[in-house]
Amino acid sequence: LYFFPAAFTSGCNAEAAAFAASIDAFKAEGATVIGMSADPVDKLKDFSAKHCAGKFAVASASPEVIRGYDVALGRQVQGREVSDRTSYVIAPDGKILYAHSELSPVDHVRNTLAAVKTWRASRKR
């Protein structure tokens, strides 16, 4: 599960494209990728088609979800509470195994995939 600040911004476009390009690697490890942002659903629908290549779900995060995952960026855009750029690896039992929070999108895909692989390898023992 990854949160991003705003659809159609350069960092969020790059991050979504990177997750889309790596989707087969996540699937090979049994993982599902879901992106979330405070953007409205219609904007996210367009964003998903253009930058996620339809390879994973993108959903609109309510203020309650943003606060619940502790990813509020601390500012509003167009009256909406915006999320920070944070990626979580969540186990099937709901336990958060890994969190990476950094506004730069550069390491999110690599780090979350590595965390998924580490968890998966530990389950094969």
**How many domains does the chain contain in total?**
1
List of residues 6+ apart from 95 with CB closer than 8 A: none
pLDDT band at 125 (very low <50, low <70, confident <90, very high): low
Angle, CA of 35, 113 and 71, to the nearest 5°: 40
What is this structure's pTM? 0.91
pLDDT of residue 74: 84
> How confident is the model over 28-56, as pLDDT tens digits?
999 999 999 999 999 999 999 998 888 99
> What domain range includes position 75?
2-123
User: From CA 75, how far away is CA 109, in angstroms rounded?
Assistant: 25
> How confident is the model over 80-92, as pLDDT tens digits?
788 999 999 999 9
User: From CA 91, how far away is CA 12, in angstroms rounded?
Assistant: 24
Q: For residue 86, what is the domain's CATH number?
A: 3.40.30.10
